[in-house]
Amino acid sequence: MLLPALTFAELHAVVVEGLPGDQVYAEQFDRQVTAISMALRSVTERERVRVFRSDEASRDAVLGHLKSLQSEVRSSDQFALFLIGHGSYDDVEYKFNIPGPDLTGEDIAASLDEMRTADQVFVNTSSSSGAMVDLVANEDRIVVLATRSGAERHATRFGDYFAIALGDPGADVDKNQRISVKEAFDFAERQVSDHFERNDQMATEHARLEGQSADRMALARLGGTLPNVVDTALGELIADRDTLNAEIDTLRLGRDDMPQADYQSALLEKMLELARVEDAIEARQEELGANE
């Protein structure tokens, strides 16, 4: 059977930290940005993750970088944009708070629309982020917003839990050692709900997830980057497993563009190959343990 050629999708990511306002939020946002950027570097090359800390996140710098990426990101690539901070909404316009002129919802939407790839994820953990939904949501783009609407103006807890999810095995529902957008969202949403219930408080935030492929885009690999392995054979097997996982992610992302029978056949072939590699890794680990 002839199957469509798979093009490996490179992930390009931008993480923007907004103004904290006080020390409590400075520590919170720093923690979230660090966790998210480290998670992203477990699924893509370090140089493809650009982090703007709050002191350098000017409107011109962020929009200029997004503009430069438009020529680098291919149609077959993936793109992720994270806004970590405070937002505001005056019933007309959403703004993400940074030094100098704020980033507006229109600024962000225009930058996303101009990216060549349709495989995008936009995560905004700020207050009032729900005000952006009509600007950024479409059937291709994955959108994660910490609030249901612009009217939810309190500082959010969602970002902390979303960042935690990217390194928590408890968020890995399918146990494939990767955390998808949907897995991270579901984990964070549950934790936020539990927080308000534990404290007998009325919830002031309700996160929302838009987009059809949130379960197929990975934001983190558990265990981080490829571990240092003394045994060459085991190291090669682990590298093979990571390659197969990446190929399966790419295949899943492109399933809507393939005949269903072709997709199922290709996925089955990859899954069987992955199972063989997992068995070989387990056997090699047992062999090494017996020789110690």
Query: Which CATH number applies to 11-221?
Result: 3.40.50.1460
Helix and strand counts by DSSP (H, E) for the chain? 8, 11
Q: What is the pLDDT of residues 152-190, one digit of tens each?
A: 999 999 999 999 999 898 999 988 889 999 999 999 999
* Token pair belonging to 31: 């923690």
- Check: CB of residue 120 under 8 Å from CB of residue 142: yes
Supply φ then ψ for residue 272, to 5 degrees.
-65, -40
At residue 250, the pLDDT reads 73
Q: What is the DSSP letter of 130?
A: G
Given a contact cutoff of 8 angstroms between Cβ atoms, the answer to whether 123 and 162 are in contact is yes
**For residue range 210-226, what is the model confidence (pLDDT) as tens digits?**
998 899 899 999 875 54
CA 253 to chain centroid, in Å, comes to 14
- pLDDT tens-place string over residues 193-214: 999 999 999 999 999 999 988 9
CB 204 within 8 A of CB 247: no
Local structure of residue 226 (DSSP, 8 states): P
Q: Domain coordinates of the chain in residue numbers?
A: 11-221, 232-291
